[in-house]
Structure 1
């Protein structure tokens, strides 16, 4: 049981350093299906909430 807790602790302690935290999101632009250019900072300046979803279709 003791080794289980040690292994669990080590697993979670390694994952803490998996990603670096950013203070602000990086600006990027993409084109939508209609050809309009969407810029992240423009949407945020308008007070809109932005959710970025990465998905894959196989």
Structure 2
């Protein structure tokens, strides 16, 4: 593997998750919409996607 395009993380609360990823982990926010947001850290992009969080059954992927 030579790199990653993005990582998508299913979250139940966009506002709470954005606060955590921005303020605690120091990710940079780029765009937000009703059911998600794009952030980055270094050269890796992250997508927060509102979903019913259920490991193995939600939209989380890389």
Give yes or no for TM over 0.5.
no
Between Structure 1 and Structure 2, the one with more helix by share is 1
Q: Which has the higher contact order (CA 8 A, sep 6+)?
A: 2
> TM-score, normalised to structure 1's length?
0.24
Point out the structure with the larger strand share. 2
